[in-house]
Structure 1
Amino acid sequence: MDWDKLRIFHAVADAGSLTHAGDALHLSQSAVSRQIRTLEESLNTVLFHRHARGLILTEQGELLFDATRSMNKRIEAATARIRDSEEEVFGELRVTTTIGFGSLWLAPRLPKLYEKYPDLNIDLMLEERVLDLPMREADVAVRMKEPSQADLIRKKLMTIRMRLYASPEYLAQNGAPERIEDMARHRLICQNPRAAQVSAGMMLVQELLTYDIHSTLTVNNYFGVLQSVLSGLGIGVLPDYVIEDFPSVQRVLPNVESVEVPVFLAYPEELRQSKRIAAFRDFVQEEIFAHRQTRKALEADAASKV
Structure 2
Amino acid sequence: MTLPVSRLARLALGAALVTSLIACASADAGPFRDRDGLTQGEVSSGATLRSYEMYRPDGLKGPSPLVIMLHGGGGNGKNGVKMTGFNALAVTHGFTVVYPDGSGRGRFLTWNAGHCCQYAMEEGIDDIGFLSDLIDVLVVRGIADPDRVYVTGMSNGAMMSHRAGRELSGKIAAIAPVVGAVFGDEKPAALPVPALIITGAKDENVPAAGGNGTFKRRITKPPNDMPYAPAGAAFDYWMASNGCPGETRPKTVTDVYTLRRGAGCKSPVQWYEIIHGAHAWPGGSKGSRRGDAPVEDFDASQVIWEFFESQSRSITGRGQPSR
**TM-score, length of structure 2 as denominator length:** 0.28
Larger Rg: 1
**TM-score, length of structure 1 as denominator length:** 0.29
